[in-house]
Amino acid sequence: MNVKIENLTKVFPGMDRKSAGVTAVDDFTLDIPDGKLVCLLGPSGCGKSTLLYMICGLESPTSGKIFFGEDDVTDVPPEKRRVGLVFQNYALYPHLTVKQIIKFPLENVKGDARLSKEEMDKRALEVAKLVQIENLMDRKPGQMSGGQQQRVAIARALVKMPNVLLMDEPLSNLDARLRLQTREEIRRIQRETGITTIFVTHDQEEAMSISDMIIVMKDGLLNQIGKPQEVYDDPDNLFVACFLGTPKVNVFKGFVKGGGLFIGDDKQSERILDVKGVDDREVWIGIRPEGFKVDKDGKLTCDLSGVDVMGRDISVVCRNSNAEEVIRAIISAENEVDRDAKTVKFNVKPHKTYIFDKETEERIRFT
C-alpha cells in the first residue's frame, strides 16, 4: 500500500509558557510507493521517530494529512491502521513463549475478525518460518540472543498482515556482525512479503545498503528523497553530501572566478576545474574521496602526508596549501603513488566535485 504524506507538521509544546515549542517535523510532503523499503535517515533528534509515530498513529500531527492508499487515516486510531511496528528495544513480554508472543496481537482481536485457535497457530507458524525462528517457538525471550529476539519482534509485527511495516532503528541494539546479518534478513523478508516498509536509521551505510529509496532529514526538514545511489551521486546540499559516504566528502572553502573553480581564498591558487555557467562568488567545494585522479600534470598540488595501500584501493592523505582541511583521497591500486615523494598532483573528476552556495549551502550546478 502506498503512503502519502501532505504538509505534515508536528510541534511539541514548550515545557512552560515561556519556552518555545520544538518543531520536530516541519511541513513534510512525500509519497512512499507501494511495496518499497524506504529509509528515514538523519542525525539523532532530526524528527525520524516523530514522523514514524505519526504514520502509525501514536502521535497526532499538529497539521497536515496522512493517506494509506486513497484513505485519509490522519484521525484513525493506531489499532485500526493495520500497521506493524518494530522498535529498537525488542520489548518482548519476558514470561511468554515465542509462540505466545507472536500470537498475542491475534488474541487481542475481538468480534467477527477473530481467528480460530487453529488459524492463529497456523498464522504464527507461517511468520515464524518467514523470519526463521520456527524452531524456537517454546523459548522465552531470556533464552534467546538479541538477533533472535528482534526476529520475534518482527514476526509479531507481521502476524496481522499489516499494510505498512514501520521499524524504528531496529538494529541499534545488535552487535556489528548481527546488525549486518539482520539487515540482510529484513531486506529478504521485505522482498518476500512485498509489504511497504519504512525503516528509521541514523546510520547512512545501513540506509544505503538496505533501501529502495532514502529520505534524508535534518532539523525536522526534508532535505532530499531519492534512490540511495542517486542521492549519493547528486546531493542537493552540503549537509546531504557530508552525511552520505565514508570516508566523508572533502570540503573546502573556495571561490569561482571567470568560469574556473579555486580552493581557498588566495587569488593565486590553482584553477582546479572549469565550472561553466557559474558567476564569480564564494562557495563551499565538496570533492568525494574517489573524485581525485593522480596525474603528473594535475592542477591540484598537495603535500603528501600518508599513503596506505588497502588491497583494491590506495588511501592518500595530503594537504593543499590553500586549504586548512586534510584531503583524504581514495584511488585505485592500479595507480602508482610514490610514498617517499613530497608532493602529489591530482586532477578532480567533475561529476565527483560539487559546489555549494556559501550562505545557503544549496548545491550550485555547473556544466
Q: Is 49 in the site for ligand ADP (CB under 6 A)?
A: yes
Pick one of 5, 8, 46, 106: the residue that binds ligand ADP (CB under 6 A).
46
Q: How far apart are CA 228 and CA 244, in angstroms?
A: 9
**Residue whose CB is less far from ligand ADP, 168 or 236:** 168
Stretch that binds ligand ADP, among 47-55, 80-88, 142-150, 226-234 (CB under 6 A): 47-55
178: amino acid identity, one letter: L
The one segment of 11-19, 24-32, 49-57, 120-128 that binds Mg ion by CB under 5 A:
49-57
Q: How far apart are CA 273 and CA 234, in angstroms?
A: 18
Applying CB under 6 A, does 259 fall inside the site for ligand ADP? no
Contacts by residues 73-79 (CB-CB < 8 Å, ≥ 24 positions apart)? none
Distance CA 82, CA 68 (A): 10
What angle do helix axes 117-130 and 146-158 make, rounded to 10 degrees?
Answer: 130
Which amino acid is it at 364? Answer: I
- Contact partners, residue 146, CB within 8 Å, separation at least 6: 90, 173, 174, 175, 178
Is 166 a binding residue for ligand ADP by CB under 6 A? The answer is no
- Binding region for ligand ADP (CB under 6 A) out of 45-53, 174-182, 255-263, 358-366: 45-53
In the sheet where 37-41 sits, what is the strand order? 83-86, 164-168, 196-201, 37-41, 213-218, 221-226
Contact 162, 156 (CB under 8 A): no
Minimum distance from CB of 24 to ligand ADP (Å)? 3
Residue 47 near ligand ADP by CB under 6 A: yes
Binding mask 114-153 for ligand ADP (x = CB under 6 A): ----------------------------------------
Task: Give me the least distance between CB of 171 and ligand ADP, in Å please.
Answer: 15
Query: Judged by CB under 5 A, which stretch of 45-53, 70-78, 145-153, 228-236 contacts Mg ion?
Result: 45-53
Stretch that binds ligand ADP, among 41-49, 172-180, 286-294, 323-331 (CB under 6 A): 41-49
Degrees, nearest 5: CA angle 232-234-239: 70
Question: 234 φ, ψ to 5°?
Answer: -135, 60
The answer to the question of residue 57 lying near ligand ADP (CB under 6 A) is no
Which region, judged by CB under 5 A, interacts with Mg ion, from 41-49, 131-139, 172-180, 282-290? 41-49
Residue 204 as a binder of ligand ADP (CB under 6 A): the answer is no
According to the binding rule CB under 5 A, does residue 49 interact with Mg ion?
A: yes
Tell me the CB-side half-sphere exposure of residue 50, using CA atoms within 13 A: 25
- All cell numbers assigned to 207: 540506509
Query: Which of Mg ion, ligand ADP, none is residue 45 near (CB under 5 to 8 Å by kind)?
Result: ligand ADP
Q: Nearer to Mg ion by C-beta: 22 or 137?
A: 22
With respect to ligand ADP, which residue has the nearer C-beta, 43 or 306? Answer: 43
The smaller minimum CB distance to Mg ion, of residues 87 and 232, is found at 87
Q: Which is nearer to Mg ion, 103 or 202 (CB)?
A: 202
**Shortest separation between residue 101's beta carbon and Mg ion, angstroms:** 24
Nearest approach in angstroms of CB 361 to Mg ion is: 24
Q: How far is the CB of 41 from Mg ion (least distance, A)?
A: 12
**Residues contributing to the site for Mg ion (CB under 5 A):** 49
**Residues contributing to the site for ligand ADP (CB under 6 A):** 12, 22, 24, 42, 44-50
